[in-house]
Chain A
Amino acid sequence: MPSPRYTREIPSRYRLEAARCNGCEGVVFPPRRICPDCRGTEFDPVNLSRKGRVVTSTVIHVPPADFLMEAPYAMAVIETPEGARLMTQVVDCDPSSVVPGTEVSLEFRLIRREDHGGILCYGHKAVPAT
Chain B
Amino acid sequence: MRQVAIVGAGMTRFGELWGSSLREMFVEAASGTLDDAGADHLDSIYVGCMSGGQFVGQEHLGPLMADYLGMAGVPATHVESACASGGVALRMAFMEVASGMCDLALAAGVEKMTDGADVTNVLATAADQELEVYYGVTFPGLYAMIARAHMEEHGTSEEDLAWVSVKNHRHGALNEKAQFRREITLEQVMSSSMVSEPLRLLHCSPVSDGAAAALLCPLDQAKKYTDRPVEILGSGLATDSLALAQRANPADLGAVRKSADRAYHMAGLEPGDIDVAEVHDCFSISEICCLEALGFAEQGKGGSAARDGRTAIGGDIPVNTSGGLKSKGHPVGATGIAQAIEIFRQLRGEAGERQVDAARIGLTQNMGGSGASSVVHIFKGV
A–B touch (CB < 8 A): the answer is yes
- Chain A interface (Cβ < 8 Å from any Cβ of B): 9, 30, 36, 55-67, 70, 73, 75-78, 85-89, 96, 100, 111-112, 121, 123, 125
A58-B134 CB under 8 A given contacts A65-B121, A85-B246, A96-B197: no
CA distance A62 to B136 in the complex (A): 11
A89-B196 CB under 8 A given contacts A36-B241, A56-B149: no
B195 touches A87 (CB 8 A): no
A56 touches B148 (CB 8 A): yes
* A-B contact list, 8 entries, CB within 8 Å: A30-B130, A30-B131, A55-B245, A56-B145, A58-B196, A64-B124, A75-B135, A100-B148
CB of B28 within 8 Å of the partner chain: no
The residues of A that contact B199 with a CB separation of less than 8 Å are: 58
Name the distance in Å between A33's Cβ and chain B's nearest Cβ: 15
Contact among A30, A73, A78, A100 with B136 in the assembled complex (CB-CB below 8 Å): A73
B134 touches A57 (CB 8 A): no
A64 touches B121 (CB 8 A): yes
Contact among A36, A65, A85, A88 with B120 in the assembled complex (CB-CB below 8 Å): A65
CA distance A85 to B241 in the complex (A): 13
The residues of B that contact A59 with a CB separation of less than 8 Å are: 194, 196-197
Name the distance in Å between A121's Cβ and chain B's nearest Cβ: 7
A55 touches B197 (CB 8 A): no
The residues of B that contact A70 with a CB separation of less than 8 Å are: 136
CA distance A64 to B145 in the complex (A): 17
A75-B141 CB under 8 A given contacts A55-B250, A59-B197, A112-B134: yes
A62 touches B134 (CB 8 A): no
CB of B118 within 8 Å of the partner chain: yes
The residues of A that contact B193 with a CB separation of less than 8 Å are: 61
B245 touches A89 (CB 8 A): no
The residues of A that contact B124 with a CB separation of less than 8 Å are: 64
Cβ < 8 Å to A, chain B residues 304-360: none
The residues of A that contact B196 with a CB separation of less than 8 Å are: 58-62
Number of interface residues of B (CB under 8 A): 36
The residues of A that contact B251 with a CB separation of less than 8 Å are: 56
B135 touches A87 (CB 8 A): yes
Contact among A77, A78, A96, A123 with B134 in the assembled complex (CB-CB below 8 Å): A123
The residues of B that contact A64 with a CB separation of less than 8 Å are: 118, 120-121, 124, 133, 136, 138
Q: Total A-B residue pairs with C-beta atoms closer than 8 Å?
A: 100
CA distance A77 to B244 in the complex (A): 8
A9 touches B130 (CB 8 A): yes
CA distance A86 to B134 in the complex (A): 12
CA distance A67 to B199 in the complex (A): 19
B141 touches A60 (CB 8 A): yes
The residues of A that contact B149 with a CB separation of less than 8 Å are: 55-56, 100
A62-B138 CB under 8 A given contacts A30-B130, A56-B250: yes
Name the distance in Å between A77's Cβ and chain B's nearest Cβ: 5
CB of B146 within 8 Å of the partner chain: yes
Name the distance in Å between B152's Cβ and chain A's nearest Cβ: 5
The residues of A that contact B133 with a CB separation of less than 8 Å are: 64
In the complex, given contacts A56-B149, A123-B134, what are 13 additional A-B residue pairs having Cβ atoms less than 8 angstroms apart? A58-B141, A58-B145, A58-B147, A58-B198, A60-B141, A60-B144, A62-B195, A64-B138, A78-B245, A87-B137, A87-B244, A87-B245, A112-B136
Pairs A-B, 7 closest by C-beta atoms: A58-B144, A56-B149, A85-B245, A59-B197, A67-B136, A87-B245, A56-B145
CA distance A31 to B180 in the complex (A): 45
CB of B140 within 8 Å of the partner chain: yes
CB of B132 within 8 Å of the partner chain: yes
Closest residue of chain A to B197 (Cβ to Cβ) is A59
A100 touches B141 (CB 8 A): no
CA distance A65 to B246 in the complex (A): 26
The residues of B that contact A78 with a CB separation of less than 8 Å are: 245
Closest residue of chain B to A88 (Cβ to Cβ) is B135
CB of B6 within 8 Å of the partner chain: no
